[in-house]
Amino acid sequence: MKYRHLGKTGIQVSELSFGSWVTFSTQADVKAAVDMMAAAYDAGVNFFDNAEVYAGGKSETVMGAALKELKWRRSSYLISTKFFWGINEGINEKNTLNRKRLIEGIAGSLERLQLDYVDLIYCHRPDKTTPIEETVWAMHNIIEWGQALYWGTSEWSASEIAQAIQIAERHHLHKPVVEQPQYNMFERGRLEGDYVRFYKDYNYGTTIWSPLASGLLTGKYKGGIPSDSRGSLKGYEWLKNLLTDEQKLAKVTALEPIAKELGCSLSQLALAWCLKNPFVSTVITGASRVEQVHENMKAADVVDRITPEIMAKIDVIFEVKKSEDEE
């Protein structure tokens, strides 16, 4: 396992990390979580991602119970969580980044995770109704109180992140240091479009999610939606259109000769492709079985096999045209 600095911070994250979205509580109980987290940790993973909204808080509860059982040295791993949607229906308890929500949110997450602090906290989405200054101050206070060490954003626009950084600098507050964007062969905009200059200028870290496009890039949906996959889960019906899109499935099929040439699975190719981007700090992987963890971790061995010629072949499949500057 290789490690990369989280943007311009002093901490380093494993280039492959492990997240609990969809799986913990929904597909994996505490025992399964222990087994999968142990497999990832043994492979060198030091960053584990979560969010209060995952499974309505139960994902954090499962991870907290797993951490208690694993008894790892606290300084040897990083835990993150995120706030925005909330897990209750009150007017100030959902879809907001106001000060009350954030301070109560971190208290609830720490209780569920059974931790004194988390390493990273994210604003899970931008809040158009709360002044960014109020959010920045609240995140700063949470760090000052020792409940978190760093903070960042998820799916914020470059201008919103820049505004938060400027407010923090003006008031000498803790600045956001990391963005959690979706990034995969199908979804490239945030790391290959207008954000490139932003990442260069601010050296902002990224912990990318959905590198396998919710499993589409694994190839397992070519024959339909398996009964044991996330595409069949209650509450994830919105995924079905993505996972059964014939044009997208055709692109996945076109990747198969490349994976064969590299001697890897489609999943490993997709994960390794993400790691070729220098602006990626870590790729968050997910799994519902230990076997998937083992397979995903082998993606680290594929990165150096992906040549510029291979990258160009993939761009042709996904109909991506590079500018002269990029070439």
The span from the CA of 310 to the CA of 117, in Å, is 42
Write down the residue that tokens 């990165």 correspond to: 303
Distances (CA, A) of 151 to 5, 80, 103, 246: 15, 9, 13, 39
Helix (H) or strand (E) holding 155: none
- The catalytic residue among 41, 54, 122, 202 is 54
- Three-class DSSP category at 287: coil
Residue 54: active-site member: yes
Contact between 217 and 246 under an 8 Å Cβ cutoff? The reply is no
The two three-digit tokens of residue 319, written as one number: 């109909």
Cα separation, 238 vs 187, whole angstroms: 17
Report the distance separating Cα 110 and Cα 238, nearest Å: 30
Measured over the CA atoms of residue 147, residue 151, residue 155 and residue 160, the dihedral's sign is positive
> How crowded is residue 32: how many other Cβ atoms within 10 Å of its Cβ?
18
Catalytic residues, by residue number, are 54
